[in-house]
Amino acid sequence: MEKMLLEQFNSIVSFKRIGKDLFAKNISLLTKSLLADGESDIDVIIDTILSKLSVDFEFDPSELKNIESDQPVIFISNYTFGGLEELILYRVISKYKKDVKVWGNSVLIKQEVFAPVFINKFETVQLKDLASFSNRYSNHLKEGKSLIVFPATKASPYLMAKKDL
């Protein structure tokens, strides 16, 4: 792939009217552009994506004080925006709990840059065997690390591609 500067990317893709169908393609293009420019820090990449999408979100930072920093925590959420919430929740929580991982099934799992923190649940768990999830990630939790879990399956691009709900 030719090196693409963010300015060039911005002229090609308008994030102002992004929809679910274009989310994966736009994230892929932006991620490739950032990587081509030498960026490898996942936090910077996510912050840039959120900025380019003009995503504004609010939360009460004092609520994070309710989370014990030396104890594992499992955060459970659901999809509404096809992966955007994974980026937001990861960035909020990762500022407080550095070893957090996201277990989900959005389009983000197909991006190699997200592999260190985004776990593809379809590679780790059979739908009828959630106990394997518990077995595989119990050590992660025992080490005091945390998980963000998106348990939804019907909105999965993986399942839709296979036409298997």
Kindly state whether residue 113 falls inside one of the protein's structural domains: yes
Verify that 42 and 69 share a domain, yes or no. Answer: no
Which among 52, 73, 89 is the end of a domain? 52
CB 121 within 8 A of CB 130: no
For residues 110 and 150, state if they share a domain: yes
The side-by-side arrangement of strands in the sheet containing 74-76 is 74-76, 147-149, 101-104, 118-120
- Asked whether residue 1 is domain-assigned, the answer is no
Q: Are residues 66 and 113 in the same domain?
A: yes
122 and 41 belong to one structural domain: no
- What range does the domain containing 155 cover? 61-162
Q: What tens digit of pLDDT does each residue of 106-127 get?
A: 677 778 888 888 887 666 555 4
What are the pLDDT digits (tens) for 7-58? 554 554 444 444 555 666 778 888 888 888 899 899 999 999 888 888 888 8
Nearest residue to 73 via CA among 147, 135, 155: 147
Q: Are residues 77 and 122 in the same domain?
A: yes
Say whether both 39 and 67 belong to one domain: no
Q: Of 77, 8, 89, 84, which Cα lies nearest the Cα of 49?
A: 84
pLDDT above 60 (res 136): yes
Question: What's the pTM?
Answer: 0.71
Give strand pairing partners of 74: 147
Under a CB-based contact definition with an 8 Å cutoff, are residues 53 and 84 in contact? yes
